[in-house]
């Protein structure tokens, strides 16, 4: 399907405070991530993956940690993550919406039928 309407696309609820919507083609994936767990006392656990990642902050305020750096980000900011580089976030505002793009696609995010 080439069009995903937010009003007609049911989010995947991964926890009481995190849900996402996914669209992808063969080589690129976009994930809309909604977090309602802020403000968080601590950052999420750092993680890494073999995918290139570009993330747009659509709503909210957060700290982005990559390697030994800490960045304060707000609506309209963008961050990038090279493959295999540890990174994480810490939500500052109550609601944060991130728009992640990955290449190649995150097979681990796709539902197994």
In tens digits, the chain (113 residues) has pLDDT values of 688 888 888 999 999 999 999 999 999 999 999 999 999 999 999 999 999 999 999 999 999 999 999 999 999 999 999 999 999 999 999 999 999 999 999 999 997 64
Q: Is residue 113 part of a domain?
A: no
The reply to whether 31 falls in a domain is yes
Number of domains in the chain: 1
* CATH number, domain with residue 39: 2.60.120.10
pLDDT of residue 58: 98
Q: Long-range CB contacts (< 8 A, 24+ apart) of 14-22?
A: 20/109, 22/109, 22/110
Residue 3 lies in a domain: no
Q: Which domain holds residue 43?
A: 21-107
Q: For residue 7, what is the DSSP state?
A: G
Phi, psi of 79 (to 5 degrees): -130, 155
Tokens of 106: 């995150």
| 105, 23 contact by CB (below 8 A) | no
Rounded to an integer, what distance in angstroms lies between the CA atom of residue 18 and that of residue 77? 20
Position 29 in a domain: yes
């Amino acid at each position: 399907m080439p069009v995903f309407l937010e009003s007609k696309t049911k989010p995947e609820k991964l926890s009481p405070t995190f849900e996402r919507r996914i669209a992808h083609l063969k080589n690129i994936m976009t994930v809309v991530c909604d977090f309602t767990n802020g403000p968080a006392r601590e950052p999420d656990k750092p993680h890494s993956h073999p995918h290139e990642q570009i993330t747009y902050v659509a709503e909210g305020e957060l700290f982005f940690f990559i390697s030994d750096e800490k960045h304060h980000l707000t609506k309209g900011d963008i961050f990038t993550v090279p493959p295999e580089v540890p990174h994480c976030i810490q939500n500052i505002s109550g609601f944060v919406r991130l728009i992640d793009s990955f290449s190649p696609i995150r097979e681990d995010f796709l539902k197994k039928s």
